Amino acid sequence: MKYVVLNKDDIAKDIADRIVSLIKTKEKPVLGLATGSTPLPLYEELIKRYKEGEVSFKNVKTFNLDEYIGLDELNDQSYRYFMNHNLFSHIDIDLNNTYVPNGLIKDEDPLYYDKMIKEAGGIDIQVLGIGTDGHIAFNEPGASFDSLTHIEALKESTIKDNSRFFASIDDVPRYAITMGLKSIMNAREIVLIATGKAKAKVISELKKGIISNDLPASILNKHNNVTIYVDEEANSL
């Protein structure tokens, strides 16, 4: 696992370089994307490069990590809505090639999502954030390292972290459909972004190299192509 310390803007530029290079060199590239405030500078950088004519997303497929259970794509707190408004609607990607787990899943087997990823050829670059308790996607502490896409009950710490995006903490959904840890590890390359003082403790724990279900992100130590991007604050411990 490689650690890179940069400011937020330079993190976005460095990862954008990787993504643009992939798109230019592979006929049908597949990206794994994340939501939340952490990847926003990256998405802004990719939009900028598209508008400057540096890259086209016409042949790109994307798979997002997760979605809240109970929210449809028209709900402004859904991750499909987030991706449409913060990236997809600003570039030339075919929306039919952008996939977000179904938050209204009922009788459908969540493993359909892993099958779709496999049929697309697998994820070339997976973008991740990390929670203050070490969760990646919605794989909470205690999650199985062998998990594929599934429905996860959210911990109170995750609900509290995400409540800033809602009118009230009571509005935050209690369940999500998420790629599992094995789903994430199947990506050929992984980049994780951690910025701000709130992430310093978990990054310090991750650096110890101890692999434990209590720290879901620690499974990344077993992957052969992971880069952890941190700013000075997240790297402070």
Catalytic residue positions, numbered: 66, 133, 135, 140
Q: What is the DSSP string of the chain?
A: -EEEE--HHHHHHHHHHHHHHHHHH-SS-EEEE--SSTTHHHHHHHHHHHHTTS---TT-EEEESEEETT--TTSTTSHHHHHHHHTGGGS---GGGEE---TT-SSS-TTHHHHHHHHTT--SEEEE---TTS-BTTB-TT--TT--SEEEEPPHHHHHHHGGGSSSGGGS-SEEEE--HHHHHTSSEEEEEE-SGGGHHHHHHHHT----TTSGGGGGGG-SSEEEEE-TTTT--
For residues 42 and 128, give the distance between their C-alpha atoms in angstroms, rounded to a whole number: 11
